[in-house]
Structure formats: C-alpha cells, structure tokens
Chains A and B, each alone.
Chain A
C-alpha cells in the first residue's frame, strides 16, 4: 500500500485552494501522483464531483464546451465544504 491519501480526499481537497475546476482538470492535476488508479477516470470523477455538490461541499460555477465538444462543468468549494475538510481531513496530506 502506498503513502497517498485516499483518492476521494485528494479529489475534494483539490478545491481547497479556492479556484474553480472541472473533472478534466482534477484528473490532470492528480494523475502524476495517482497514475493507474482505476477510479481516476472522467465518468467516476464527474460522479464524485456531482456527489460532493449534492452533499454541499462544492458548488457549480459554470459549464462550457471544450475544443473537442466535451462538456466541462466547473465547481468551487463552499464555506461548508472548506469547514468540513479543514475540520475532518485537514491534517491528511500527500507526501510533498
């Protein structure tokens, strides 16, 4: 077992910097560390972000079509999401 934090923690903590991002962006950012993780694919990351939105951690900011006509839905962290992440998983981080 590697030393990485669970993938779902990494996906939602990706938004802690306050910037908006989409599933494609999350995958691009996490792939170097989590390369080969089966759940790091477009469909499952989109579902993870949609679930996080329903749970109130993230909010949808906008959506656009990318150059290959794929829909990109952008999300941003909510105050509730930031508070929850800092309180419960704030201390878990990937090795630098």
Chain B
C-alpha cells in the first residue's frame, strides 16, 4: 500500500510539474500581451493626438513635453493598474473572497503588500511606461522590455545586500549573463537608433530597480497571503495611488491644476479605455499564473519561465503593432534588430541561470533531486 502511494505521489508531482511550467510560461506570455496592448492603447484615439505633440480634441492646445513624457505615462500606468485591479477583485468576488480581501488589508502582511505596491506600482510602472514611450518615439519600443527584465538580476543582488540571502555560483553567472545581454541590447539600440533609445533604457533600468526591490521585499512579507488576494491588493493600491496621487502631481507640474481633471475625464470617456481594459485583463494573469505556476513546478523554475517575457514583450509588440497592423504601422515594423532579439534570448537564458541550477534541468540529477524530495 505504501509503495503504491509513493508511485501515485510521484505521478502527481510529474503532472503538477508539467502544469506548473505551462502556467509559468503562460504568465510570461500574458506579460508580453499586456505590454503589447498597452503600447497599442497609447497610439489610439486621443492618446495618439497627445503623443503627436500637436493640438488635440476640438482644438485644445498641445500638451507640454513634461506632461507628455511623465503625466501621460502615469495616467496610462494608473488606468492599466485600476483595470487589472478591477479584474482581480472580480476574481476574488467569484471565489467569495471579498471579505478576506478587506480583512487582509488591515493586517501586517496586507500593509507590507501595499508598501510594495507603492514602489513596484506607480514608481516602477511609470518608469516602465516612460521608457516604453521614449523607445516608441525613437522607433524601437521593444528594446526596453529586456532591460526591465533585469529586475530579476537586481532582485537577487538586493536580496544579498538586504537579507543576506546566499548567491550561488549559477546565480552569479546568471546575473553576469543578464547584465551582458542588457548591455548588448542597450548598446545596439544606441548604435541603430541613437541617444533617445539610451534614455529609454535608463528609465527601463529604474523600473527594473524598483521591481527588483518589490520582488525582494514582497517575497519576504507576502508569502502569508493568498496570492489572488495579494494581487488584488497590489493592483488596486497601485492603480488608486497612480490615479489620485502620482498622476495629479505630474499633471499639475506639466500643465497646471486645470489639466488634471481635463486629461482624466478625456481618458475615461475616450473609447481607448476599452484597450486599457484588455491590457489590464492580461496584467492580472501575468502575476497570478506566475504564483500558481510556482506552487506547482517550484518557485525557481516558475520564475525562470516567467522571465521569458524578456522575449515575449518585444514579440507581442511586434505582432500587435506590426504584423496585425493594429497600430497603423507596417508589417516590417521592427521592435528589435536581429542582434537585440539575440540579446533578449540570452537574457532569458541568464534569468534561467539565476532562478535554477542549469545542472538540474536535464538528466539524472533532476530526477535524483525530485526523488530525494519525495523520499
């Protein structure tokens, strides 16, 4: 009987493992879809007019450069997070978890999650979108995604500094591979597109730093929360802070107090809001599948599969904006040059190295490790 249970347990572990990898890979794909749809949203309707830098609506004067660069990025980030917050809360409602959602916010882990959402939400997402927009303006939007994916490497380094977490040989190799790939992508864009792409990479790096910080603190403070509730708390906090604190401050600096209500009302009544609903919809599984995948195939491999978004991000920007021609751009629309695609793939490999020991991926050792776990 006991031998039989062991076999069934091993079989369960195998199916869980395969399903977990599938969920983690799907999370990376959703991340790519979210980035691609968000980029699309910002080219449509009134958003396209705003970013073009000319008069908009029925003859409103052009927005200032500061507003275009920072306030619109904050507004786009906030809309995306509010939408994904609404989707996440709906998931909680479906699971009858709304009571626990409210209660968890009143406890210590809930408050840590909200603090992380402040750093990883508005700060990182605004920097990410400033980077995305600057890169789009430079004609090379895909370039910043792999740079932002450096958050994995930065998180590992910050974990070492703050929490004295140990860095194994394969993690150090992975961090170096990631940095080299980042330098390759950034360097290539500087050569082909010019200084503007480098500015974009700089903001992407700030986003990577903030996400790395969030990942390393959140990893410590939030293992005690149901992941669906954790995601809802994060997205709602981040969306509301962005919409009612960060965006108004940046809009006032860029165009005076009057522009706050005007821009917000225009954004909410423009049909483009539907595209933000879609990008927010993809942003939710980008996080929740990651957690679900981790619980099934192991956190290290889950993180590695999720990290493939360094590739999926530019890929879906290319598919949505170029191939499907939704953004009014040609099929040859190149988010990345050949060398940058190579860099993105190298970065995915580096993230794999940080997250898991390459020696355990194949052959006897992995089986031995799994069997050891089950023994």
Contact = CB atoms under 8 A, between A and B. Distances in A.
Interface string A1-25: 1100111110010000000000000
B102 interface: yes
Given A2-B99, A92-B107, A65 B1 contact: yes
Nearest to A66: B5
A71 B5 contact: yes
B295 A50 contact: yes
Interface string A50-94: 111111110010011100000101000000000011001100100
B95 A51 contact: no
A5 B16 CA distance: 29
Interface in B159-218: none
Interface residues of B, number: 37
B223 A6 contact: no
A38 B95 contact: yes
Nearest to B16: A50
Task: Choose among B2, B16, B295 the residue with the greatest number of A CB atoms under 10 Å from its CB.
Answer: B295
B216 to A, nearest CB: 14
Interface string B360-375: 0000000000000110
A52 B224 CA distance: 8
Interface of B: 1-2, 4-6, 8-9, 12, 16, 95-97, 99-100, 102-104, 107-109, 112, 221, 223-227, 229, 291-292, 294-296, 298-299, 373-374
B294 A51 contact: yes
Given A6-B104, A38-B97, 8 more contacts: A7-B97, A8-B229, A39-B96, A47-B292, A50-B16, A60-B373, A64-B2, A65-B4
Kindly list the 9 A-B residue pairs having the minimum CB-CB distance in the complex, ordered from nearest.
A51-B295, A55-B223, A8-B226, A6-B100, A38-B96, A63-B9, A65-B5, A50-B295, A64-B5
A47 B9 CA distance: 15
B299 A54 contact: yes
Interface residues of A, number: 32
A30 interface: no
A8 B100 contact: yes
A39 B103 CA distance: 16
B2 A89 contact: no
Contacts of A38: 95-97
